Amino acid sequence: MRILLLNGNTNGGLTETLAAEARLYAGRGTEIIAVNCTRGARFVASRAAEVIAAQAMLEVASAHFGKYDAVLIAISFDTALHALRELLPTPVVGMTEASCHAACMVGSRFGVVVPSARTASVYRERIEGYGLGGRLAGMRVVDRSAAELYEDPDSALEAVGTAARALVQEDGCESVVLAGAALVGLHRRLQAQLPVPVLDGIACGVGMLEALARLGLPKAQCGSFAVPEPATLCNIDPALARLLNAPSGEAQ
């Protein structure tokens, strides 16, 4: 199968890091096609920047339509998740969505380490939107920008480790999710230091997409994730316009 790893950040180096992580966990026969947006923020860290990223992600997914069998949203806000799930006939999974669901499968209550206080509310909204608010035991903030965490992983490891241990010791978390694309891969280095499972969104996302592909579930024909009715559009990217006006979710 072919997984489109779609990074809503414009940082190409980060995309390569995420792709390398995805390939570590991909099964035999799974190809990772890694693409990032070229319009928007280098690191999306605000609601405004996320709105810009969302449209750019729809355009990228439309431009590559037909070249992938599933989509992994490789931006930890899970930006454009519901819009892509609505438009595409293929499985779509968000990296934070995947890791939080997996965390519930290996412990009763989980905790999340997030990069900054500013983004903590966004992550909480996403988790509650997935129906997992009651399983969330706590959140800890590293309080560094995504750029700082990405550019200094050794420093990030110490700060993230301190936050993760607090979740276990003070909040009683039985599993810990590392949120933030800039933290990808740190779970392997931290696991030996913690007595509970540490989960990474890219690793979990790849595994879940492979499982969904094997299940071969059909695209919903009704409800909020059914393909929307064709819309009257103005000044929209041509590939995206074709996808939005394809009644069966197949580009014309």
- Predicted confidence at residue 164, as pLDDT, reads 97
**Within this chain, do residues 46 and 90 fall inside the same structural domain, yes or no?**
yes
Domain total in the chain? 2
DSSP E strands: which ranges in 115-186? 136-141, 175-178
Query: How much is the pLDDT for 247?
Result: 53
Structure tokens, 178 = 């590392």
In the numeric block, which tokens belong to residue 181? 């694309």
Beta carbons of 107 and 196 less than 8 angstroms apart: yes
Residue 252 lies in a domain: no
CATH number for the domain that contains residue 35: 3.40.50.12500
- Please report the pLDDT score of residue 250 as a whole number: 54
Residues 89, 102 share a domain: no
Residue 111, domain member (yes or no):
yes
Is 116 among the domain residues?
yes
Is there a single domain that holds both residue 101 and residue 195? yes
Q: Which helix (H) or strand (E) holds 54?
A: helix 47-63
pTM of the predicted model as reported, rounded to 2 decimal places: 0.93
Strand pairing class (110-114; 136-141): parallel
Residue range(s) defining the domain that contains residue 80: 2-95+205-244
Strand, coil or helix: what is 198? Answer: strand
Each residue's pLDDT tens digit in the chain (252 positions)? 999 999 999 999 999 999 999 999 999 999 999 999 999 999 999 999 999 999 999 999 999 999 999 999 999 999 999 999 999 999 999 999 999 999 999 999 999 999 889 899 999 999 999 999 999 999 999 987 777 887 887 778 889 999 999 999 999 999 999 998 889 999 999 999 999 999 999 999 999 999 999 999 999 999 999 988 888 888 889 999 888 886 544 554
Q: Is residue 78 part of a domain?
A: yes
Q: How many CB atoms lie within 10 A of CB 226?
A: 12
**Residue 134 phi/psi, 5° resolution?**
-70, -15
Does residue 137 share a domain with residue 214? no
Considering the domain architecture, whether residues 193 and 102 belong to the same structural domain is answered as yes
